[in-house]
């Protein structure tokens, strides 16, 4: 998992949880669902949501030490 450089605003401004757009969901539905029903669309959405949350957790865990260092340093500076 890639570490975030907390000194670079372009990196700290990145989304921790990637958005799931309707365009992305439609693409997933078109590629992954043979029979499109409300149930299968919901299943695809829930799968995409779980994957996005797991990815965010992985990024968070990989960067927790750096995040803590910045938070503590900021608090001490106040």
Q: For residue 68, what are the domain limits?
A: 37-78
27 located within any domain? no
Q: Is 1 exposed, middle or buried (0-12, 13-18, 19+ CB in 10 A)?
A: exposed
pLDDT per residue rounded down to tens, the chain (78 residues): 688 999 999 999 999 999 999 999 999 999 999 999 999 999 999 999 999 999 999 999 999 999 999 999 989 888
| pLDDT computed for residue 19 by the predictor | 92
21 located within any domain? no
DSSP code of residue 35: S
The domain tally of the chain equals 1
| pLDDT computed for residue 68 by the predictor | 96
| pLDDT computed for residue 77 by the predictor | 85
């Amino acid at each position: 998992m890639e570490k975030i450089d907390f000194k670079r605003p372009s990196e700290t401004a990145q989304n921790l949880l990637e958005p799931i757009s309707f365009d992305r969901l439609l693409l997933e539905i078109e590629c992954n669902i043979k029979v499109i029903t409300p149930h299968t669309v919901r299943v695809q959405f829930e799968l995409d949501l779980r994957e996005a949350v797991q990815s965010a957790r992985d990024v968070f865990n990989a960067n927790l030490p750096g995040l803590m260092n910045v938070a503590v340093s900021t608090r001490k500076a106040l």
